[in-house]
Amino acid sequence: MLKRSMIKIALPVVASALVLSACGSDDKDDDASSNPGGGNKPTYTIGFQGGLTGKNAQLGINEANGVKLAIEQANAKGDLPFKLEVKTSDDEASPDKSQSAAQKLIDDGNVVAVVGPAFSGPTKAASPNYAAAKLATLTPSATNPSLTAPANKFTALLRGTPNDNMQGSGMATYYAKKLKLKTVLLIDDKSEYGIGLAAVAKADLEKAGITVKTESIPQGTPDYTAAATTVKNSGADGMIYAGYYQDGAPFAKKLKEAGVSIPMISGDGTNDPEFIKLAGAAADNWYLTCPCADANVEEATKKFAADYKAKFNEPAGTYSAESFDLANMIIEQMKTFGAEKITREALLNKLKAAEYKGLTKSFKFDQNGEYVGGAIFLYQVKAGKIEYLGDIDKLSAA
């Protein structure tokens, strides 16, 4: 999710800044690596790369916490033939800082696999480094469809979520079949994520017979007044915003001030309680999609959600449970080595061929590292809370 010019620097970076207290430090997390009866077992590290500070940091924090919980619980069972540690690397959700964040994990010889990167832009920037290191990266949330294109040669990238081909299609289907809209204004934030999601949504909206108008409003726009006026004067009877909550929130405020009341929908980059904290009442009635169900509602993830809240003193967030699952998928494949030394390349090859039934869904990858299967889920902000509505295709057909 995000795109700027790529920086081809692959030097180790020593991060000195502390990340948010919810994430622990940017180094080894001792709390998450507690291991009763560790003895002389070898120690391996699972890395996490994502934005833990800066704009849209909560999305990265959600995922890092899921990984930490998985590792803590795996160690606590006491039956692993090795000891596990977790190491986080903060890329601030920026492509410009992604390669140095990746290199920090690559340069640590104990890191045998990585959950992340979290966003599409940083994933695109760092994937050549990970491919060269043969270090597996399992992203819970980088959804730009082009990331798994064979021409990229991102041979260490495994996508652990349906891509935006499904998310954009779900938005279009809901607007066309359920709300029966005729004209939709589609706005992207010029990020790798936003552009990719918007392109898919546009194609599917037009396929459904909906007239599409498009605008691009870059991240960090200082004042969304003009953008809100554009929406108001567009004549559209629905809007899609392909961007993140940090910009979606001030945009929502200006839309409310301008009196815009048409249906508005955004994707997983906006689907976080931080959107409501920043937008206030202006967030009400917005639809939000995600290739992730609500871990706090689904029966299969209720124990996870309770454990997560007990550990981090906040509800599980967007992609928390998926990150937990991907960490456990890595651990399951690590266990197949037995007493044999785990190497990055061998683990990468095992993960490419593996199938894993997690709490959220089953995980399997095609020959390009693309996630196989999946569904898109719809949410709506009501009275200051994000309410889970369910599978978007089933809702569209109802």
Is residue 216 a contact partner of residue 226, using CB atoms and an 8 Å limit? no
* Torsion angle (degrees, nearest 10) of CA 370, 371, 372, 376: -130
Query: What parts of the chain have a pLDDT lower than 50?
Result: 1-26, 30-38
Number of C-beta neighbours around residue 72 at 10 A: 19
The residue behind tokens 């706090």 is 296
What lies within 8 Å, CB to CB, of 75 at 6+ separation is: 33, 34, 35, 36, 38, 83, 84
Q: How many residues does the chain have?
A: 398
Residue 30: per-residue pLDDT: 45
- What span, in angstroms and rounded, lies between the C-alpha atoms of 99 and 294? 31
Is the omega angle on the peptide bond into residue 145 within 30 degrees of 0, that is, cis? no
pLDDT for 243-288, tens place per residue?
A: 999 999 999 999 999 999 999 999 999 999 999 999 999 999 999 9
- What span, in angstroms and rounded, lies between the C-alpha atoms of 228 and 260? 8
Is residue 118 a contact partner of residue 348, using CB atoms and an 8 Å limit? no
Residue 28: per-residue pLDDT: 66
Half-sphere exposure of 287 (CA within 13 A, CB side): 25
Is residue 197 a contact partner of residue 188, using CB atoms and an 8 Å limit? yes
Query: Can you name the CATH fold of 21-163+299-364?
Result: Rossmann fold (3.40.50)
Residue 55: per-residue pLDDT: 84
pLDDT for 314-343, tens place per residue?
A: 999 999 999 999 999 999 999 999 999 999
Is residue 1 a contact partner of residue 190, using CB atoms and an 8 Å limit? no
Is residue 268 a contact partner of residue 167, using CB atoms and an 8 Å limit? yes
Residue 39: per-residue pLDDT: 62
Task: Give the global pTM.
Answer: 0.86
- What span, in angstroms and rounded, lies between the C-alpha atoms of 271 and 22? 19
- What span, in angstroms and rounded, lies between the C-alpha atoms of 320 and 308? 9
Number of C-beta neighbours around residue 79 at 10 A: 9
Nearest CA-CA partner of 194 in 227, 171, 220, 218: 218
Residue 150: per-residue pLDDT: 98
- What span, in angstroms and rounded, lies between the C-alpha atoms of 193 and 218? 12
Classify burial at 237, counting beta carbons within 10 Å of its beta carbon; exposed 0-12, middle 13-18, buried 19 or more.
Answer: middle
Percentages helix, strand, coil for the chain (3-state, rounded to 5) are 40, 20, 40
Residues of the chain with CATH 3.40.50.2300: 21-163+299-364, 164-290+376-397
Helix count and strand count (H, E) for the chain: 12, 14
Homologous superfamily (CATH) of 164-290+376-397 is Response regulator (3.40.50.2300)
